[in-house]
Amino acid sequence: MKAFLSSLIVLVSLSANAAELNIPDTFEVLQVDGEKQSKSFFTKSTTLDLEPGQHVIEIQYSEMFEHDSEDHHETVRSQPFVLIFDVTTEDIKLTHAEQLGIDEARQFAKSPQVELMTEAGNPVEVQQLTQKQYQQDLLSIEQQRRQQVVQQSLSDDPSEFREQGPDAVEMLEYWWEQATDAERQEFIRYLREEQK
């Protein structure tokens, strides 16, 4: 019983630190911090529990419109885009301009603009990037990280990078021992000529 109660207390305290992000049904959540998400067709909105800190969410505008004269519908979708923002413990909601018709929705889908607001109505700073921009930023960060690793390894103690194997003196001693008396005399004569 004590274990159950302590587990319950831990869960309640963890959820007390999390903030909720409410996203309207006009957006599909594709990924949250790199993890793919699934969405039910019948949900009206998505609520995400987010721990305090920076988060990266990939979303896509998707809204269905019925045609008046015909018995079918059309779904207007944007390209997926990425939101990068910091979360505190305050709940947040995603807002955007309401699209009153299919033409407005098509225009909005070309360049969707969203805002994040706290429940108190205060704006949350958010960086909005296209999927391509985000991938390029990740690639650039990875390249910078690799360059830093290489520079760090080159600036470390150069004695760590000495050549492997015997040095020149060891090699000369080895070949001296392998040489015949005639070869040794020839080598001594060579050294004397070099000193002149």
Pairwise CA distance, residues 40 & 133, whole Å: 28
Tens of pLDDT, residue by residue over 100-135, are 889 999 999 999 999 999 999 999 999 999 989 988
Q: Which residues pair with 81 in a beta bridge?
A: 59, 130
Domain end among 130, 153, 178: 130
Question: Which range has the worst mean pLDDT, 36-45, 158-167, 185-194?
Answer: 158-167
Residue 140 reports pLDDT greater than 80: yes
Are the C-beta atoms of 49 and 22 separated by less than 8 Å? no
Quick one: pLDDT at residue 77? 94
Higher pLDDT, residue 162 or 71: 71
Q: Are 6 and 14 in contact (CB under 8 A)?
A: no
**For residue range 144-157, what is the model confidence (pLDDT) as tens digits?**
888 888 887 776 66
Question: What's this model's pTM, rounded to 2 decimal places?
Answer: 0.64
Residues 120 and 174 reside in one and the same domain: no
pLDDT tens by residue, 10-32: 444 445 678 999 999 999 999 99
Are 23 and 73 in a shared domain? yes
Task: Flag whether 140 is in a domain.
Answer: no
Range of the domain at 183: 166-196
CA neighbours within 13 Å on the CB side: how many for 48? 27
What's the total number of domains in the chain? Answer: 2
Listed residue (56, 54, 52) closest to 83, CA to CA? 56
pLDDT band at 5 (very low <50, low <70, confident <90, very high): very low
The verdict on 76 and 16 lying in the same domain is yes
* Whether residues 126 and 174 fall in one domain: no
| Residue 168 pLDDT grade (very low, low, confident, very high; cuts 50, 70, 90) | confident
* pLDDT for 12: 44
Residue 144, domain member (yes or no):
no
Read off the tokens for 103: 């033409």
49 and 120 together in one domain: yes
What's the pLDDT tens digit per position in 38-57? 766 666 678 999 999 999 99
Does 104 share its domain with 186? no
Specify the higher pLDDT residue, 16 or 60.
Answer: 60
Residue 1's pLDDT band (cuts 50, 70, 90): low
Which DSSP string do the residues of the chain spell out, in sequence order?
A: -HHHHHHHHHHHHHHHH-EEEEEETTEEEEEETTEE----TT-SEEEEEE-SEEEEEEEEEEEEEE-SSSS-EEEEEPPPEEEEEEE-SS-EEEEE----SHHHHHHHHHS--EEEEETTS-EE-EEEEEHHHHHHHHHHHHHHHHHHHHHHHHHS-GGGGPPSS--HHHHHHHHHHHS-HHHHHHHHHHHHHHH-
Q: What is the pLDDT of residues 67-106, one digit of tens each?
A: 776 678 889 999 999 999 999 999 999 999 988 889 999 9
User: Which domain-ending residue is among 130, 158, 175?
Assistant: 130
